[in-house]
Amino acid sequence: NAGVMQNPRHLVRRRGQEARLRCSPMKGHSHVYWYRQLPEEGLKFMVYLQKENIIDESGMPKERFSAEFPKEGPSILRIQQVVRGDSAAYFCASSPPHDSYEQYFGPGTRLTVT
């Protein structure tokens, strides 16, 4: 049973470009969470999605950031017009529908904005 998959693992973007991060949850999991991790700040929640629905986006910046989890295909975290402050590790986690307290994380995407 494959774990949570994220790609790309490393992404370099210039300021002003768009970054698209993809996450495929574990088989049988229908809940997806995105987190951002900075070295001095720890893991910060961004958004919680179920298929075709955003359940909680209280941790998402109001501008430039968006997320989706379509009926088919992976969840996508999209960052428009990236700035240097967006450089971080972005992790996706998934959980099964019957127990959403236990989350299983992917390997992360390390975004570097130059």
Partner 1 sequence: EDQVTQSPEALRLQEGESSSLNCSYTVSGLRGLFWYRQDPGKGPEFLFTLYSAGEEKEKERLKATLTKKESFLHITAPKPEDSATYLCAVASGGSYIPTFGRGTSLIVHP
Residue ranges that bind partner 1, judged by CB under 8 A: 4, 6, 31, 33, 41-45, 48, 56, 58-59, 91, 93, 95, 100-108
* Shorter beta-carbon distance to partner 1: residue 72 or 99: 99
Q: How far is the CB of 81 from partner 1 (least distance, A)?
A: 27
Pick between residue 17 and residue 100 the one whose CB is nearest to partner 1: 100
Closer residue to partner 1 in complex, CB, 17/104? 104
State residue 86 phi and psi, 5-degree precision.
Answer: -80, -10
Provide, for the chain, the percentages of residues in helix, strand and coil under a 3-state DSSP scheme, each rounded to the nearest 5. 5, 50, 45
CA distance 111 to 79: 10
